Amino acid sequence: MSDKPNPLAGYFRKPELYVQIPTSGAFNPEIEKTVLDEIGILPMTAIDEISMTNPDALLNGEAIVELIKSCVPSIPEPRELCNVDAELLFLAIKLATYGKDISHLHTCSHCKAQAEYNIDINQILDKFPEVKKLEPVEWGDLKIHIQPPKLESVTRLALIDVEQARILNSIQKTAESNTGENNAELEMAKQFAISFRKVSKQNVDLLINSIHKIETPEGDVYEYEHIVEFIDNVPTSVVKDVKNKIDSLDIKTTDLSVFEFVCEECNEADKVNFELNPVNFS
């Protein structure tokens, strides 16, 4: 290593664009206020690009966290980002790296004619919702603070999905290779896996992950297990209030990435959904 400054430093990558995130950092006090107005986006390096092709790293969320660390250095803790913010940053990084156009070869579902379509990433970025900080749900002397889903919890949900699918798959394989008395037992195990998945995914995770903290006169509670136990032991009206509050956040980025292609051959339209979250790419 040489002590003298690298004469090539002036040629290192620079921000290609500046963005604001949908939540304006309302749920991330660790991000500096001055950063939030203009978040600089660097293009990917060769190493970034290679790591985005590693399916394991993509799946456990490590790839997107590392990518944001590399390309959005002003974000101190990418893991703490709200998912909606991470999705926007991911698209912005793609734009900074490859330019605004994504080309897509689409096969018409009506006449099977193929054509190349261009999608402008700016169009998707412009459609992102603005997510405001919410007043907490009050119950007695408690204040339940709601947040949009975090990158980490969405990644965890995706992992649970994969895990459950794996369990189901192996149960099915065992069931196929066995005949007779074991079947009832296996069927039960299968049903258990299915119901476990539904319950864990819909009820618990979504709700709990949307609770940022519970403010009590004695202090704030952040612990996941404590909040799970709390939700299990309060009247249903409280849970409903929390659910309504979460619904009022209304963050639906799935609609943002739906594009309609009108076929030049038969004039029929097809809707195509582009996955925004790289966790779901694999």
Cβ proximity to Zn ion, 27 vs 261, nearer residue: 261
Cβ proximity to Zn ion, 113 vs 188, nearer residue: 113
Cβ proximity to Zn ion, 109 vs 182, nearer residue: 109
- Tokens 């290679």 belong to 50
Q: How far apart are CA 183 and CA 187, in angstroms?
A: 6
Q: How far is the CB of 260 from Zn ion (least distance, A)?
A: 13
Cβ proximity to Zn ion, 112 vs 127, nearer residue: 112
Q: How far is the CB of 110 from Zn ion (least distance, A)?
A: 4
Three-state DSSP state, 267: coil
For the chain, where are the alpha helices, taking DSSP H only? Answer: 33-36, 46-51, 55-59, 62-71, 83-98, 121-126, 151-177, 182-198, 206-209, 224-232, 236-249
Q: How far is the CB of 109 from Zn ion (least distance, A)?
A: 8
Site for Zn ion, rule CB under 5 A: 108, 110-111, 113, 263, 265-266
Q: How far is the CB of 113 from Zn ion (least distance, A)?
A: 5
Q: How far apart are CA 4 and CA 9, in angstroms?
A: 11
Three-state DSSP state, 105: strand
Which DSSP string corresponds to 119-169? EEHHHHHHTPPP----PPEEETTEEEEE-PPBHHHHHHHHHHHHHHHHHHH
Cβ proximity to Zn ion, 161 vs 270, nearer residue: 270
Give Cα separations from 24 to 31, 34, 88, 95, 131 (angstroms): 10, 11, 12, 20, 8
Cβ proximity to Zn ion, 203 vs 267, nearer residue: 267
Say which amino acid occupies 117. Answer: Y
Q: How far is the CB of 268 from Zn ion (least distance, A)?
A: 5
Q: How far is the CB of 131 from Zn ion (least distance, A)?
A: 38
Cβ proximity to Zn ion, 223 vs 265, nearer residue: 265
For 113, the token pair is 């004619």
Q: How far is the CB of 271 from Zn ion (least distance, A)?
A: 14
